[in-house]
Structure formats: structure tokens, C-alpha cells
Chains A and B, each alone.
Chain A
Amino acid sequence: MNVERSRRYPDEPAGPFPTPPATHTDAEGRDLAIERVATDGAVHDSLTRMYDRFNPADRAQGIPPTGEAQIRDWLDPLIDTGVNVAVRPLEPTASAGQATPDASTLDADVDRNDDAGADRNIDADADATSADAGSIEYVGHAVLVPDTDESDALDEPGRYEWELAIFVLQEYQGAGVGTALLEHLLGEAAAVGIEHVWLTVERWNSPAISLYESTGFESVGTERFDIEMSIQLDPA
């Protein structure tokens, strides 16, 4: 496709990448479900809660914003117009971050009590977005948004360049969750026909830069405070 790109992309496509839904065991032995998410009240609510818990030190270039209303204003269009993949523990967990194991169990019980009598051992629910959605607690989210205001970008995804962002809650960082989430987002992207993905990352954020490089991103712009990186996919 001879559409003019606004940035450089690697000559060779990267991949193949795995596609969601999938289960993944992280380096700490936690079993996680990785799934595509889309516009849905419970998804918006859960991701808003996740970003509300986000460590301010992990913000980058102004996102995520702080405050629930600001988070929703930022997040809702991303979920509505982008390609979104999120990760959640298979075991019920509570407000990830600070809780003791006891408090976690308690919170999980409270959250799940509308499903009284259901088997709380939900490890069969790898792709069960239908199950008790109100209690889903995402701990990571990765998203691609097109560089257009057209709402039908997914009808011709190869025409657009898609910007990537990925966020993982602090207590799930350093355990390979970001890598798994990123790979599954790129797998989903290729499956829906996306070819060109780019991102910006702050120069000093070497863990993130390493993650992107190991996944196949290359630096294409370094003249700013941030580094611009891109990857080419082999669409399905």
C-alpha cells in the first residue's frame, strides 16, 4: 500500500506474535488471563479503577491523567476507537497494590457476592469476559489508536499508523507481564490487519525501551525529549 507515512518503519516485519485470548503465568507464578476488550461498561469501569490506582511515578508524558473524571475522559475514546488488550489475574484478587492477602480475599468476596454460590475457582474462565464482569480487576492494559479522527479506521487498518501505549500496575512490573501483554496486542493488531505501529517513550525510561527493542521496535526519531520507535507487522 503506497500511503505516505509520517515516520520511518523497519524494512522487515516483526513477528509472528501470539493472539489473545490466552493464559500466561508470570515470573512470580501468578496465572493471568490476557484478552481483547472493547466498549463495555464493566471494562471501562475496571480500567478506570486500574488507572486510578496507578503509581504517579509511572506516569509518562502526561498519561494516565490523575483523577477519575480525567481518566475517563482520556480512556473512553481509546477503548471506543482503538484496539485494546488487557490482562487480569485468573485468581480473584483485590485492589492490586497495597492489600494484605487477607484483605485481598475479603475484597474479592465482597466484589463477587452477586454471584453467590458460584464456583469461586475461576481458573477455567480464561476468556470468560461474560463472567461476573463487575468484579474484573485488570492489572495491565495495552492499546493502539489510529492517527485519524475517522471512526472507521478498523475498516481499513492498513491505511493508518497506530500509536501504542502500555501500562502495567506496579506490583505486576518486572515479571514479564508487560512483554506478554505487548506481544498479544501486536498479535491482535496483525490479526485485524494493522501494519504500522509506533510509540514514543521518554529517553530515560530504559526498562520500557528495552522491552520495545526486544519485541522488535526500532528507534526512528531521537531529536526530542522522547524517543520515537516503530515496528512493522505482517498483517493476517
Chain B
Amino acid sequence: MNVLLGLGGTDESIQALEATIDRASAVGDELVVAILDKADAPRSPAEMRSETAATLEAAGFDADIRELEGDPGPALVDLAEREGFDHVVIGGGTETPMGKIRLGPITEFVLLNASMPVTLIR
């Protein structure tokens, strides 16, 4: 399958990247990693790109890395539709001090608008 992974520059993104590499290696998926321009993320797109490259290299897994400009949810779904990806993967979900799971607006947009299956890793 052709898998598109969207990364927003948060800690959950790193976790999603590692899980997706594991899965893609195991089943032989082709992977494209899209770096999203998430305004309040702790890592800039450039930082996220180099961290992604390092993680891929450490795993010995080859994947294209693309930076997407603009509103992250629409940009990711648009790329997935235009290039006919089979599957979209996103990281998402933070925990409050109480342990409540919260999903953000990017996650909601992708879940509601992507026409292909979406995996949410949290």
C-alpha cells in the first residue's frame, strides 16, 4: 500500500513516525512522510524534517519527506486525494493532567474529510 504519514512537529508525531516505520517495514508499505506547518508545534518544519530523516536512517527505512504549506489538515487530505494514497496515518491525542484524551482540530479535519482509511496513532 501507499501510505501517507502526516507529522505536526509534536512529541506525538515522533511516536507516530516510529510506529509507522515499524508497520511499513513489516508489511512492505511504501511511505511518504508529510511535514505539516503546525503553528504552535514545539518543532519547526525544518527541525521536524531533519529529525524525521535521522529516524528513517536509524531504522534503515527509505521514505520520501515532503513539507506541506498552509492549513495542516486540508493540506494533508489534499495531497492524499491528489496522489491517490491508499491510507493516511496521523499522530494525535494529548492527555490532560487527569488523563483525559483530547483530539485536536487537525485530527478532526483529517478523520472527517479523508476519503481513504485513516489510522490515528496515540
Interface-lining segment among B20-28, B51-59, B75-83, B91-99 = B91-99
Q: How far is the CB of A128 from chain B (nearest CB, A)?
A: 29
Q: Does B42 contact A (CB under 8 A)?
A: no
Determine how close the nearest CB of chain B comes to the CB of A166; give it in whole angstroms: 11
A-B pairs with beta carbons under 8 A, tally: 41
| Nearest-neighbor residue (CB-CB) of A148 within chain B | B97
Within 66-122 of B, Cβ neighbours of A (below 8 Å) are at 95-105, 108
Tell me the chain A residues, 157-197 only, with Cβ under 8 Å from chain B.
163-165
Determine the residue in chain A with the shortest Cβ distance to B122: A62
Indicate the member of B96, B101, B104 with the most A CB atoms within 10 Å.
B96
Select one of A163, A223, A224, A225 contacting B98, CB under 8 A: A163
Q: Does A135 sit within 8 A of B, measured CB to CB?
A: no
Distance A147 CA – B99 CA, assembled complex (angstroms): 11
CA distance A223 to B105 in the complex (A): 7
A200→B102 contact, CB < 8 A? yes
B residues less than 8 Å from A200 (CB atoms): 96, 100, 102
Of residues 58 through 99 on chain A, the ones whose CB sits less than 8 Å from some CB of chain B are 60-63, 65, 74, 78
| B104 A62 Cβ-Cβ under 8 A | no
Rounded to whole angstroms, the CA-CA distance of A223 and B100 in the bound complex is 16
| C-alpha gap A74/B95 in the complex (Å) | 12
Residues in A whose Cβ lies below 8 Å from that of B108: 224-225
Q: Size range of the interface on B?
A: 10 to 19
Closest to B93 in A: A62
Of B96, B97, B103, B108, the most chain A CB neighbours within 10 A belong to B97
The residues of A that contact B99 with a CB separation of less than 8 Å are 62-63, 65, 74
Provide the A209-234 mask, 1 if CB < 8 A to any CB of B, else 0.
00000000000000111100000000
Bound: A200/B100 CA distance, A: 8
Which residues does chain B contribute within 8 Å of A147, judged by CB atoms? 97
How distant is the Cα of A74 from the Cα of B100 in the complex, in angstroms? 10
Interchain CA distance A163-B97 in the complex, whole Å: 7
Report which of B95, B100, B102, B105 forms a contact with A165, defined as CB distance below 8 A. B100
5 more contacts with CB within 8 A, not counting A62-B100, A63-B99, are A60-B100, A63-B98, A163-B100, A200-B102, A226-B100
A sample of 23 cross-chain residue pairs with beta-carbon separation below 8 angstroms, ordered by A number, consists of: A61-B102, A62-B95, A62-B99, A62-B100, A63-B98, A63-B99, A65-B99, A143-B98, A145-B97, A145-B98, A147-B97, A163-B97, A163-B98, A163-B100, A165-B100, A200-B96, A224-B102, A224-B104, A224-B105, A224-B108, A225-B103, A225-B108, A226-B100
**Chain A residues in the interface with B (C-beta under 8 A):** 60-63, 65, 74, 78, 143, 145-147, 163-165, 200, 223-226
